[in-house]
Structure 1
Amino acid sequence: MSTPLFVRSVSLKVRLTLALSLAFLLIFLDHRLGAMQPVRLFLNSIVSPVQYLAVVPEQALDSLISQLQSRRALIIENESLREDMLALRGQMQRYEFLMLENERLRRLLASEAREDRLRMVAEVIAVDSDPFSHQVVVNKGTRHGVFIGQPVIDAQGVIGQVTSVGVSTARVILISDQSHAIPTRAAESGIRVIAQGVGDTSMLELMHVPHSTELRVGDMLLTSGLGGVFPEGYPVARIQSIVRDESLPFARVRAVPVANLDRIRMLLLLWDADSYEQPIRPEQEAEPL
């Protein structure tokens, strides 16, 4: 018996019919009897990890984007806060400067010893570059009523006097200049002495003091009012040392100025209330002639 060389297979139409029939049968059995429930649970247990792994990259990408956005927002906010902090620090420095300036002006105006004296605040705008000359330039001149020989003080005591005047500026010689001398008296004993500048802003020398003087270390020297330049009663210096060397004709007495002559900035110009010279205020300049 011979075997055919080619076996005829089942046609595609028959296969489709069988597949559809089987599918409808499974649907009927699952719908009526729940026969496919165990199979469904088994397949879900297999597919779930795959679904989870498929979602992980998307979640990681979303988390990364969210973190980058949050980091960028924090960087922008930090930069903004830093700029605000710098601006506030700048304002604080300005406020501190204004507070110090206000306090300095209050002390300056409160330093007036007599009510019959007129005064005007001036600001130092230049310092003499010559190391042997202790002079400064202030921003007040003849149009403000400043005159040659005018006394100048600050919040602590006597600074010097005006030596030359321009229209809007004036030159002030300090009491520490070697060419300047000021008549003083001791506040405790009333002894009158001349305080001479020695070219050092931190030192004055008292001239022609006898060895038998009653001056003592620590005595305060005030303006005596003699000479008609400086009004009486303003602090000038405090005695620092007294050397009584019998080989010298006079005792060597040195005093420290009460004003900080090496860092003055705001000064006070003084006028006698009944003198010919009077201060000229800005509102007076604006008045018609």
Structure 2
Amino acid sequence: MTTLFIRTISLRFRLTLALLLAFLLIVLDHQLNVMQSTRVVLNSIVSPVQYLATVPEQTFDRLSENLQSRRSMRAYIAELETDMLDMKAQMQRYQLLLRENERLRNLLASESLQDSLRMVAEVIAVDSNSFSHQVVINKGTAHGAFIGQPVLDDQGVVGQVVSVGLTSARILLISDQNHAIPTRSERNGIRVVVQGTGNMEQLELMHVPHTSDLVEGDLLLSSGLGGVFPEGYPVAQITSIVRDESLPFAEVYASPVAQLDRLRMLLLLWRADDERQPVFTPLRDALNAQPSDAVEDTND
């Protein structure tokens, strides 16, 4: 006999039972972490699907990045080629000016600029005395350093060596009140003495007449008259001029070209014809890891 009506569990009861089981699983997983292994298995199963779903997007991003990189590289190469042509043209002009300068010096019976030898040194200490602007470098008599030796950075004149040890030397900066350097204006050749003021950002020009043809912005170069610094290195740039007729001289101040407050790598100079020459020991230079410690012949 076939029954026409079959009693089944109601949907409300099924929903209630499912909610109770879900709540029980949540509590057990939170307290006993019983579902951890199950989550690991499910994540392992789902991971390939997730990876496949992201493949098209990653492929498109890589193609787009490669196209952009190729386009940027082509633009960069074109820019480099243009810069190279420009530099070649400037080099031709430089060679012409160099030959013309040599002819003019010969006509004026002037002494030619001397070649110089250079050695890179690293600042290892800074004088903590606020009234003295000095730094210590890692080159000394063992490297050929000597008292009175000129010191530069990548911008201009920094100072000179005032004391030396076997493997270190002390540099007096041009901003120190006890330091003075003879200079000349790049624009018109006027010679002035630049003295430190105790301020690393300000130097003072000494005994400048009120009628002197100096203007703000003039670049001052080492004149070579003091016998310490070679001629032609940037020293300072004039920042202010006060011509007060009640004073015997004009008040002229300049800012040093070298970055005296952030010195790290410096250059020691030797004249090529000087008896004192730089001394290099390959083993020590290798240990110091200074690949740029090499002698360079340059026409100053």
TM-score band, normalised by shorter chain: 0.5 to 0.7
Aligned pair 1:140/2:139, yes or no? Answer: yes
2:127 and 2:219 map into 1 onto residues whose CA distance is 29
Q: Deviations over 1:250-284 (max 9, x none)?
A: 22211111112122222111122222222222317
Q: 2:161 is paired with a residue of what secondary structure?
A: strand
- Structure 2: how far apart are the matches of 1:47 and 1:66? 33
Alignment of 1:182 with 2:181, yes or no, is yes
Aligned to 1:213: 212
Q: How does 1:44-193 map to 2 (within 5 A)?
A: 45-46=8-9, 57-59=20-22, 61=24, 65=35, 116-193=115-192
1:235 alignment counterpart: 234
Deviation (angstroms), 1:42: 2.1
What displacement does 1:247 show? 2.1
Distance, in Å, in 2 between the alignment partners of 1:115 and 1:59 is: 91
Q: Give the match's secondary structure for 1:198.
A: strand
Tell me the alpha carbon deviations over residues 111-144 of structure 1, each in whole angstroms, 9 at most, x when there is no partner: xxx8922212222111111111111111111122
Gaps of at least 5 residues in structure 2 are 30-34, 44-112, 286-300
- Cα 1:147–1:42, aligned 2, differ >3 Å: closer, same or farther? same
Question: What root-mean-square deviation, in Å, do the aligned CA atoms of Structure 1 and Structure 2 show?
Answer: 2.9
Q: Distance in 1 between matches of 2:174 and 2:38?
A: 69
1:101 matched residue in structure 2: none
Query: SS in structure 2 opposite 1:199?
Result: strand
Cα distance in 1 between the residues matched to 2:203 and 2:9: 103
The offset of 1:193, in angstroms, is: 0.8
**SS of residue in 1 equivalent to 2:6:** helix
C-alpha change, 1:270 and 1:61, in structure 2 (3 Å) is farther
Q: Which letter maps to 1:161?
A: Q
In structure 2, the CA distance between the partners of 1:213 and 1:53, relative to structure 1 (3 Å rule), is: closer
* AA in 2 matched with 1:193: V
> What's the counterpart of residue 42 of structure 1?
6
In structure 2, distance between residues paired with 1:238 and 1:217: 8
Q: Runs of 5+ in structure 1 lacking a partner?
A: 1-34, 74-113
Q: Give the Cα separation in 2 of the matches to 1:68 and 1:125.
A: 61
User: Equivalent residue of 1:179, what SS?
Assistant: coil
Residue type of the partner of 1:145? G
The structural deviation recorded for 1:54 is: 5.2
Q: Does the 8 Å contact 2:119/2:269 carry over to 1?
A: yes
> How far apart are 1:235 and its partner, in Å?
0.4
C-alpha displacement of 1:48: 8.1
- Corresponding residue pairs, total: 207
- Contact 2:180–2:196 at 8 Å: present in 1 too? yes
Please identify, of 246-255 and 144-153, the stretch whose mean Cα deviation from structure 2 is larger: 246-255
Q: CA, structure 1 residues 59+277, in 2 after alignment: closer, same or farther (shift >3 Å)?
A: same
C-alpha distance in 2, partners of 1:51/1:249? 107
**1:190 aligned counterpart, secondary structure:** coil
Which amino acid in structure 1 is aligned with residue 192 of structure 2?
V
Kept after mapping to 1: 8 A contact 2:114/2:271? no
Asked if 1:223 corresponds to 2:187, the answer is no
TM-score by length of 1: 0.64
SS in 2 for 1:42: coil
Q: Structure 2 vs 1, CA of residues 177 and 67 (structure 1 numbering), >3 Å: closer, same or farther?
A: same
TM-score normalised according to structure 2 size: 0.61
How big is each residue's C-alpha offset from its partner over 1:88-128, in whole Å with a ceiling of 9 and x where there is no partner? xxxxxxxxxxxxxxxxxxxxxxxxxx892221222211111
Residue type of the partner of 1:135? Q
* Pair 1:55–1:245, CA change in 2 (3 A): closer
| Residue 55 to residue 202, structure 1, CA distance change in 2 (3 Å) | closer
